[in-house]
Amino acid sequence: MAKEFDVCVIGSGPGGYVAAIRASQLGFNTAIVEKRHLGGVCLNIGCIPTKALLRSAEVFENIEHAGDYGINVKDYSADFGGMVKRSRNVANKMSKGVQFLMKANKIEVFEGKGVFESKKQIKVVDDKDKTKEQIKAKNFIIATGARPRELPNIKIDGEMVIDSEKAMQLEKQPKKMVIIGAGAIGVEFAYFYHTIGTEVTIVELQDTLVPVEDKDVGKELGKIYKKKGLDVRTGSTVEKVEKKGKGVKVTIKSGDKEETVEADVVLSAVGVTGNVEGIGLDEIGVEYEKGAIKIDKETMQTSVDNIYAIGDVAGGPWLAHKASHEGIICVEKLAGEDPLPMNYNNIPGCTYCEPQIASVGYTEEQAKEEGYDIKVGKFPFSASGKASGLGHEEGFVKVIFDEKYGEWLGCHMIGSHVTELIAEAVVARDLETTGHEIISAVHPHPTMSEAVMEAVAEAYGEGVHLGSKPKKK
């Protein structure tokens, strides 16, 4: 006999578990179905454990440069197994935290894969497709997330070619690695492995690293990575991967030139695709295309009236905080509340390599394509007293404003821990703050955050620390 609920969430990642908690808070009798680990990809094999690995690399890099700070350190080395173990411990702790939250909010958890039998009922099956439970619900929220996308000619086999999950849990540190794709996942793993001693070649089809970011940011990261000693191949493709002994032979094409690079392993980091298959969407008429469920972005409703979709399975941007926010809006709408709609042009993106990258809004190129006349300001961290004191002078803050009305169109940062700074731009844009209001708001000195104000001042010809000539008003 099927158990009955007001809301059933399929998937327990940052979208799913947040939606379930909010539903319970609003008085809904709530269930959640998870086929693997509570917390989903993000907490278990994504955002959280990779940040733990990156922190280990950052600490190692700090020790490596300890002499720059007047500190002598002898006999240090990277313990790859220890780094992986710490990463798994952090992930396990967070997953247990979600378990606690489910109990605290009286949300019933079902282990298994949720498959629709009708728009009002799913079955929960085990890994052999045997039915364990049946659940009826007035409303379903699909939050099944996404998985790594495969290139047609480069199949992920878990040995020669691996995905991000395998990359964070390798048993042995590779001596040489080729990474395909220079998006967030690619450049983060490139930083981690290179920092602890792996020879890394990173291959990107586009002309700059992190191609979704402002071009100035991608160019800057490319220069920094080359200076660090990474082999950066932009405007290039991996044509094939062949096994050679215990390693691989990778054919890389740049323009008309082909070159072979040998490595221990290849990491495929060319994006993700939503988990839309095998959950009964076709049978009940939920529309999707190219790995993403179609939704009404004000309510998250699918083409079926009582079924909703949030997070990666509903398309980009593929970010945990976007998924969580969609989940809250979805459930509050179900409860008859009137939440503010999601502003998809004001979702910050963060990349946690070192230097870090953070951005929100239009790139300079996008702003021009939209027809804006713009003011652009840039402030390098080399002119920041705090950055100099920290020993991290690389990077900059770049801001873009509409010349006519003063709207803050975009903000782009590359530098040490800039992911902690981007929220100022997000909130300011949400409040329709003008450039002069940012300039007049007193920023503490010395901090990295004052670089935001300095960049805005440069955009308006009011900067005082770069020797710039005032701009005509």
- Among the listed residues 345, 469, 467, the one whose alpha carbon sits nearest the alpha carbon of residue 400: 345
What angle is formed at CA 336 by the lines to CA 335 and CA 342, rounded to 5 degrees?
90
Q: What are phi and psi of 47, to 5 degrees?
A: -50, -55
CATH number of 161-270: 3.50.50.60
pLDDT, mean over the chain: 95
Tell me the domain boundaries of the chain: 3-148+273-334, 161-270, 355-459
What confidence category does residue 469 fall into, taking pLDDT thresholds of 50, 70 and 90?
A: low
Q: What is the pTM of this model?
A: 0.95
Q: Is 73 annotated as a binding residue?
A: no
User: Dihedral of the CA atoms 83, 268, 418, 422 (nearest 10)?
Assistant: -130
Q: Which residues pair with 110 in a beta bridge?
A: 33
Q: Is 183 annotated as a binding residue?
A: yes
Distance CA 239, CA 235 (A): 13
Q: Is 112 annotated as a binding residue?
A: no
Find the catalytic residue in 65, 325, 417, 445.
445
Determine the 3-state secondary structure of 13 from DSSP: coil
- Among the listed residues 250, 218, 248, 249, the one whose alpha carbon sits nearest the alpha carbon of residue 234: 218
> What 8-state DSSP symbol labels residue 10?
E
> Over the stretch 63-88, which tens digit does the pLDDT of each residue have?
999 999 999 999 999 999 999 999 99
Determine the 3-state secondary structure of 166 from DSSP: helix
- Does the structure show a pLDDT above 60 at 473? no
Q: Which amino acid is at 376?
A: V
3-148+273-334 classified as CATH 3.50.50.60: yes
Distance CA 307, CA 329 (A): 14
The pLDDT of residue 428 is 98
What angle is formed at CA 155 by the lines to CA 50 and CA 247, rounded to 5 degrees?
75
Domains 3-148+273-334 and 161-270 share a fold: yes
Q: Which residues neighbour 59 within 8 Å (Cβ) at sequence distance 6 or greater? A: none
- Asked if 445 is an active-site residue, the reply is yes
Q: At what angle do helices 215-228 and 184-195 cross, to 10 degrees?
A: 20
User: Dihedral of the CA atoms 259, 265, 271, 272 (nearest 10)?
Assistant: 140
Q: Is 185 annotated as a binding residue?
A: yes
Q: Which amino acid is at 311?
A: G
The pLDDT of residue 466 is 87
Q: How far apart are the first and last CA of the chain?
A: 73
Average pLDDT estimate for 387-408? 96
| Token pair 């490139």: residue | 190
Q: Is 285 annotated as a binding residue?
A: no
| Token pair 């890099």: residue | 61
CATH number of 355-459: 3.30.390.30
C-alpha 386, offset from chain centre: 27
Distance CA 439, CA 210 (A): 29
What one-character-per-residue DSSP string does 192-221 give? Answer: HHHHTT-EEEEEESSSSSSTTS-HHHHHHH
Q: Is 181 annotated as a binding residue?
A: yes
> What 8-state DSSP symbol labels residue 218?
H
Give the residue ranges of DSSP H helices in 114-214: 164-167, 184-195
Distance CA 127, CA 132 (A): 10
- Does the structure show a pLDDT above 60 at 41? yes
Distance CA 111, CA 136 (A): 16
Q: Is 150 annotated as a binding residue?
A: no
Instruction: Return the structure tokens found at 71.
Output: 């500190």
| Token pair 């699918």: residue | 302
Q: Is 467 annotated as a binding residue?
A: no
Instruction: Return the structure tokens found at 424.
Output: 């100022």
> What 8-state DSSP symbol labels residue 151?
B
> Over the stretch 188-215, which tens digit does the pLDDT of each residue have?
999 999 999 999 999 999 999 999 999 9
What confidence category does residue 467 fall into, taking pLDDT thresholds of 50, 70 and 90?
A: confident
Contact status, residue 112 vs residue 133, Cβ threshold 8 Å: yes
Q: Is 311 annotated as a binding residue?
A: no
The pLDDT of residue 222 is 98
> Over the stretch 139-153, which tens digit does the pLDDT of each residue have?
999 999 999 999 999
